Structure 1
């Protein structure tokens, strides 16, 4: 069997290893097919990405709190026609630049043009930019990896990144991070070509060099529109480390900095000038002073974490490649003076250390570093750096089984405890994913490293379908806001006015509508119902007594009730709905 790594011959037939040998032949055939041409490689990577990302894209409820905030702000752009200012209801949302909102608004507008019913309340449409960003990130990882590896190795590295849990999650969330990662890996791939092709500076630059420069600056400019300074920070810090190592920054001229600066200003300056004028400069004070610097100084929005938190979470967020990536660390250290390895280290390590030092920690912050981690892992494989004979290597590789096994048990217990149901339709895929992960570990122990990584990718494809496509719909208790919106839709009147007391999640604003009133007391809720017309007030249980007291001794029967589990708060939640219909006395 042709393989990337030496000593990766087919395993001996023993203790069920005949099945493993068959699986390794299948993975070898798939890699050989994909590596036959760039077109086949890209097609195979797109299939892997779609299989990982599409399940649950439309059916997963808006995930509090960030996702519905982004989606609601994009919806309000369509409602108002204001494509400059960013607002969540009446509140200015001056945290991130406008790129993601424009992309989401365009996706929803396209859905409306195609006749999608109630397009503006369909969260799946707002997720399309994230889906496209994640797919682009996979293809760009393949392009970046070609600077380090042959076509087969680049294909495997891109597939390993595409299968990682964190990218799978971000691909189906209407947020910035999938698009940010695509922009980052574009800049990384271009920087790699400039660094590894430094000798070209002695020859006239050709079209390839110009194309590389354009990709770099386009990724940088779009990244600024999506998430401010993050892509420049990723690329700039890596370039600084490499320039210090080289003792010169002359190699960066291959990226055409003068042309790039002009291109970047043309892309980003118009909106930044417009928002500065419209907000009176408040956008920059909020985005830089509060959002960015606030996360540096403290654990913003209760997302504090100690140093080392990302290293621990890495075993889950970069599954199925995490265990193998850890095994590549000795190789990276031993070869750190080689140009290719030095570049990968410069991209990963400095930013990783910064993220570990910053008090505010969210798992997706390190996602733009993971394409380089995947490339480093496969590079170690091609150089014989993933050796199961190394002390402890087999135990570390065995961690690949923990995530699918843990999710199979954990999701089954959660579904039974919360909804008294089991994800029976998902269990075959969950168990198959566990089995493929076990085969992945077994392949590694038999020195079939390429097959181990490929089987891990296959396990991830099955796991995504099982978790997001088949298990998630069973967990009705997690869909609190959509079920409350269904109570509104069941009222026998058109366009009811809705208010909420206690339950204030952004997902409720997105599903109910921009004009949802947020109340602060039982008296306000009672007064809201008495204003006449068709009205619905949602009262969380902890405010039920205050609402009842405000009725002045009258008893109002609820029009419906939703009991569930609030993911954001991590607690059970109960909400009763009280209706006032035209002609009735509340």
Structure 2
């Protein structure tokens, strides 16, 4: 594997502070660098991992489908309640179900409705994405620069969010950056005038093809898409694609087919081909042709939200853009641009937009930023540079004010426990701007990373648990658990979030009218129904013949709809 020599990016004569010494010590070996990265990741990813409620809508859809896989024993077909979930391949469901089954074997109580267990694969994926970013960066940077690049990626808001959500994107990012790290070594080791062949070893080739195969099982064509767009752009630059033969495509394609083909054949047989019609014809092409599930946005959206999703590194990445353009013919810069630009343009052109779509491109952005730092390209004297760097402060300040406002508006509390760390994060971000202005860009990045490491426990660990208004489904499930009868049948009228299905159970009934809800309560035995405020009068008119008793009321904020929601619970108990 091609690795750059160890070195330093701190300006000569700069006084070493605590963060400098920490980076210096960790850069002494790969083991220390990886240990520091894992420690940073755990600080950023673990707070709120258990206490955060199932986040509608995608997370509980994945978790519920994995739960049903355990309930039915069917490891081929994927279902959400009675509906076939033919949108993504089976990989994530297998991994989630395996973790939950393992927890059950160890005797963990209520493992199947413990959302944190379904998040474990995402946590592992995020940790691997950080380590693979370090490995990929070593193809371009000294050990110290690779460490800071991986830390900058690990501290970004988007990977921090995906690490604690039971979805595909953290594992997808790990597969993507692993494949691209291998591809980088092939590209930088190819034959060019004046250079001898640096043929990649078998380990690098296997990393590439295993990442491709696992990525296909996790999220279909996405890893091949990222790799293919980059390879095409670089081949056009090279005017030849022969350099790709170093990946040993005969060996690799055979290995990939051996891994992915069995399940694809099984689901094609079991669904009668419906999986491919739904996954390709409806899910993928639907997003290309229109705004799927009301997630439409104009071109340029990803660029606009980049300053939030890639915080705290986004401002410094933006300052690196002139350097990248000026050096676009350099082999290393050309590879990173080929990794980022074609896929970014494609995502901007597609009508459906979700912030996590560009997450697999962010490791390249972090590496490119550190290359600019290493070559002295982040100049605070450039026009507007200090104003751009000052954007680092907006996220911690905005979150501090926003969380206090939300907590007071909905729950009439002040998140006192989280305020010290929130204010410390703001201070670290301000210090990052000051250090950049003093021409110490690496130390500025280190302080920005510190700001993120302070912000994550402040928001997710100390502030989020006290925001009861956001936990609508868990509070409804608590009402069910408080009934004086075992295993009540439950229905919901007007509130259809997947988180409620995950917490209540697969047999949760969804009602469409007040009459249906009243009829449900009259079905005998112990029964409970949740009714939203707009449908309450209709329900009361219909349930006059049923002796239903009000057992509670839940008011809160529906994150998915962005609106306040009020629900009343009525029960019939023997």
Q: Specify the TM-score bucket, using the shorter chain as the normaliser.
A: over 0.9
2:518 counterpart (505, 526, 534): 526
Q: 1-side partners of 2:114 and 2:13: how far apart?
A: 50
**Gap change, CA 1:465 and 1:250, over 3 Å in 2:** same
Contact 1:558–1:576 (CA under 8 A) maintained in structure 2: yes
Residue in structure 1 matched with residue 174 of structure 2 by the alignment? 182
1:301 counterpart (289, 293, 298): 293
Q: Secondary structure at the match of 2:158?
A: helix
2:434 counterpart (442, 461, 470): 442
Residue in structure 2 matched with residue 568 of structure 1 by the alignment? 560
Residue in structure 1 matched with residue 49 of structure 2 by the alignment? 57
CA positional deviation for 1:541: 1.1
Contact 2:216–2:223 (CA under 8 A) maintained in structure 1: yes
Contact 1:144–1:186 (CA under 8 A) maintained in structure 2: yes
**Gap change, CA 1:554 and 1:75, over 3 Å in 2:** closer
Q: 1-side partners of 2:427 and 2:498: how far apart?
A: 39
Q: 2-side partners of 1:553 and 1:100: how far apart?
A: 47
| Matching of residues 57-136 of structure 1 within 5 Å | 57-136=49-128
Q: Secondary structure at the match of 1:96?
A: coil
Contact 2:64–2:80 (CA under 8 A) maintained in structure 1: yes
| Matching of residues 224-263 of structure 1 within 5 Å | 224-263=216-255
CA positional deviation for 1:248: 1.0
Contact 1:440–1:452 (CA under 8 A) maintained in structure 2: yes
Residue in structure 1 matched with residue 3 of structure 2 by the alignment? none
1:477 counterpart (449, 460, 469): 469
**Gap change, CA 1:8 and 1:396, over 3 Å in 2:** farther
CA positional deviation for 1:199: 3.1
- Residues 141-150 or 242-251, more deviating: 242-251
- Residues 553-562 or 318-327, more deviating: 553-562
Contact 1:307–1:357 (CA under 8 A) maintained in structure 2: yes
CA positional deviation for 1:555: 7.3
Provide Cα deviations, 1:376-410, integer angstroms capped at 9, x if missing partner. Answer: 00000000111111111111001101100000001
Provide Cα deviations, 1:475-513, integer angstroms capped at 9, x if missing partner. Answer: 100100000000000001111111111111000000000
1:29 aligns with 2:21: yes
1:310 counterpart (291, 302, 307): 302
CA positional deviation for 1:134: 0.2
Contact 1:4–1:381 (CA under 8 A) maintained in structure 2: no
Q: 1-side partners of 2:306 and 2:13: how far apart?
A: 30
Contact 2:547–2:572 (CA under 8 A) maintained in structure 1: no
CA positional deviation for 1:3: 8.6
Unpaired segments ≥5 residues, structure 1: 11-20
CA positional deviation for 1:552: 3.4
CA positional deviation for 1:531: 1.2
Contact 2:522–2:546 (CA under 8 A) maintained in structure 1: no
Contact 1:3–1:450 (CA under 8 A) maintained in structure 2: no
CA positional deviation for 1:77: 0.4
Contact 2:9–2:145 (CA under 8 A) maintained in structure 1: no
Q: Secondary structure at the match of 1:153?
A: helix
Residue in structure 2 matched with residue 343 of structure 1 by the alignment? 335
Residue in structure 2 matched with residue 270 of structure 1 by the alignment? 262
Q: 2-side partners of 1:371 and 1:154: how far apart?
A: 11
1:427 aligns with 2:419: yes
| Matching of residues 168-567 of structure 1 within 5 Å | 168-199=160-191, 209-552=201-544, 556-567=548-559
CA positional deviation for 1:254: 1.2
Contact 1:548–1:555 (CA under 8 A) maintained in structure 2: no
Q: Secondary structure at the match of 2:416?
A: coil
Runs of 4+ residues over 2 Å off in structure 1: 2-10, 199-206, 551-557
**Gap change, CA 1:524 and 1:463, over 3 Å in 2:** same
Q: 2-side partners of 1:529 and 1:61: how far apart?
A: 28
1:40 counterpart (32, 40, 43): 32
Q: Secondary structure at the match of 1:499?
A: strand
Q: 2-side partners of 1:568 and 1:205: how far apart?
A: 51
Contact 2:191–2:197 (CA under 8 A) maintained in structure 1: no
TM-score by length of 2: 0.97
CA positional deviation for 1:203: 7.1
Residue in structure 2 matched with residue 14 of structure 1 by the alignment? none
Provide Cα deviations, 1:12-66, integer angstroms capped at 9, x if missing partner. Answer: xxxxxxxxx7xx6111111111100000000000000010000001110000000
Q: 2-side partners of 1:312 and 1:299: how far apart?
A: 18
CA positional deviation for 1:546: 1.0
Contact 2:131–2:150 (CA under 8 A) maintained in structure 1: yes
TM-score by length of 1: 0.95
Contact 2:410–2:469 (CA under 8 A) maintained in structure 1: yes
Q: 1-side partners of 2:207 and 2:181: how far apart?
A: 9
Q: 1-side partners of 2:440 and 2:214: how far apart?
A: 40
Q: 2-side partners of 1:58 and 1:253: how far apart?
A: 46
Q: Secondary structure at the match of 1:213?
A: helix
**Gap change, CA 1:263 and 1:200, over 3 Å in 2:** farther
The number of aligned residues is 568
Q: 2-side partners of 1:203 and 1:450: how far apart?
A: 34
1:161 aligns with 2:156: no
Contact 2:490–2:529 (CA under 8 A) maintained in structure 1: yes
Q: Secondary structure at the match of 2:312?
A: coil
Q: 1-side partners of 2:230 and 2:540: how far apart?
A: 61
Q: 1-side partners of 2:25 and 2:67: how far apart?
A: 43
1:149 counterpart (141, 158, 167): 141
Provide Cα deviations, 1:411-455, integer angstroms capped at 9, x if missing partner. Answer: 100110010011100000000000000011111000111100011
Q: 2-side partners of 1:123 and 1:558: how far apart?
A: 29
